[in-house]
Chains A and B, each alone.
Chain A
Amino acid sequence: MYAQRPSFYREKYINIYDIKLYTLANTLVELPYLATSSLFFLVPYFFLNKFDEVGVVAEQFFLYFAYVALYTGVIVFMGHFSSTLFPSEPVSTIYTGQQQRELCINICLSIYHHAPHIILLTLQ
């Protein structure tokens, strides 16, 4: 992201493209990688932990897949956001250290609060 900056400023100055389209392309290109990397995580994880022993397996698998993919998406696009927002890499590192770990903790805690209800509901 930082390596692309000089060329981005040059191209923006001579009006080659709209910035919206640049952002859209960089966002869309991330999506297949997100899906495959969350599948790499989910396939061994889901079946080794015996999540497939109760309930409807396909429904649970795709719900958990949606959860992992969306969560990774939030993390990655927050990374994009911070690396476009700040002028240099160290500043962006400090920002991520402060803010995004909190984001992680918040998402994880909300899962921790809600997951028992969801799992107990599927068991009944």
Chain B
Amino acid sequence: MLQVIGAGSTQSSTVDFHEFYKGSSLSDSNKIVVSAYCTLDESKEHEAVVDTKKTVVKYYASYSSQFRYLMIRALKTYWRSPSYNFVRMIVNLLVALLFSSAYATQSYETDVQIISRVGLIYVTTFFLGTCLLSMRLLT
């Protein structure tokens, strides 16, 4: 496998993977398995499609199992895209540290300082929103 793909030593690969797979032994064994599954078994009724009242059911699986497998897949998708999820957390941390560095030495007593805190809340909300929006679109 590594010999075929060049193990990342070159930037671009000259091998056409589609043609290579079609000629390989793995392709032949996979074709045999798929054709075995594709032959229609006449003896079995497709019971999942027709329920007891003989009305056509729309989905093969029940709603709970559909939801379970979709949930598993969505969790895996999110876990495997750290460029979105963990960078987002680091950006949040950086925004918080950046904006609070201006206020770290200030006290919190007078009216003016309270109003400046309100301005801080405004700016961080806006900044966080635009950051998240642009990152959402990058993925």
Contact = CB atoms under 8 A, between A and B. Distances in A.
Interface of A: 1, 4, 15-18, 21-22, 24-26, 28-30, 33, 36-38, 40-45, 48-51, 53-54, 68, 71-72, 75-76, 78-79, 83, 89, 92-93, 96, 100-101, 103-105, 107-109, 111-112, 115-116, 119-120, 123
Contact of B93 (A44, A72, A108, A109): A44
B96 A42 contact: yes
Contacts, number: 147
Scoring B59, B71, B75, B133 by chain A CB atoms within 10 A of each residue's CB, the highest score goes to B133
B17 interface: no
Interface in B12-45: none
Interface of B: 58-61, 63, 66-67, 69-71, 73-75, 77-78, 85, 88-90, 92-93, 95-97, 99-101, 103-104, 106-108, 114-115, 117-118, 120-122, 124-126, 128-130, 132-133, 136-137, 139
What 4 A-B pairs are tightest by C-beta distance, nearest first? A79-B136, A48-B100, A45-B96, A41-B92
B89 A76 contact: no
B59 A15 contact: yes
B100 A44 contact: yes
B13 to A, nearest CB: 21
A100 B92 CA distance: 19
Given A38-B92, A75-B136, A45 B100 contact: yes
Contacts of A42: 96
Contacts of B77: 4, 29
Contacts of A44: 93, 96-97, 100
A33 B101 CA distance: 25
Contacts of B100: 44-45, 48-49
A116 B118 contact: yes
Nearest to B57: A15
Given A72-B128, A75-B129, A111 B122 contact: yes
A107 B130 CA distance: 12
Contacts of A78: 133
Nearest to A103: B129
A38 B73 CA distance: 24
A13 to B, nearest CB: 13
Contact of B78 (A16, A22, A33, A123): A33
B128 A15 contact: no
